[in-house]
Amino acid sequence: MAELRSWLVTQRDSETNPASGGGYPGEMLGMPPTGRGSLGRLWPRVLALLIDWLLCSLIAAGLFGYRFGGHGANGFVPLAVFFVENVLLVGTIGSTVGHRICGLQVRRLQDRLNGPVSALIRSVLLCLVIPAVIWDRDGRGLHDRVAGTVLQRFR
């Protein structure tokens, strides 16, 4: 029950009830409040996603003839490229091109670089979109929580 409650605690609850977790996003994970090693904030994450999506769309157009605004099965080509980018880059170096530009890196909670299995799990859930927009009080999406990862700042 406590696990379910952690997903339902609001910021106001944490400010008025110290037992609900309180503090800043990432505190319960042992991360600093700001700077290097802190939890990646929303806007850098969104910017990284936009950079990756644009890059993957350009790759899909160049390699597979994808047309922007395309319909049908052709519309999934950028998503497939995005999936491959995430599995390969997050699984090996711990960040996508967009993450790297925005100073973010995916890390396992045990302070290791992300591995191929957790990158695969994270990427599948990320491409389903819904898990990525369901966050816990530490600011981790469901895709990160299931994969045992966190997106943190490296600079």
Residue 13 belongs to a domain: no
Domain that holds residue 63: 27-153
Give per-residue pLDDT as tens, 46-64.
Answer: 999 999 999 999 999 999 8
Residue 4 belongs to a domain: no
Number of domains in the chain: 1
Residue 78 belongs to a domain: yes
Please state the pTM of the whole predicted model: 0.80
Residue 56 belongs to a domain: yes
Return d(Cα 4, Cα 131) in angstroms, integer: 15
Give per-residue pLDDT as tens, 93-108.
Answer: 999 999 999 999 999 8
Helical spans, DSSP H, in 65-109: 77-85, 91-92, 97-101
Residue 70 is predicted with a pLDDT of: 61
Residue 129 belongs to a domain: yes
Residue 11 belongs to a domain: no
Residue 86 is predicted with a pLDDT of: 96
Residue 53 belongs to a domain: yes
Residue 51 belongs to a domain: yes
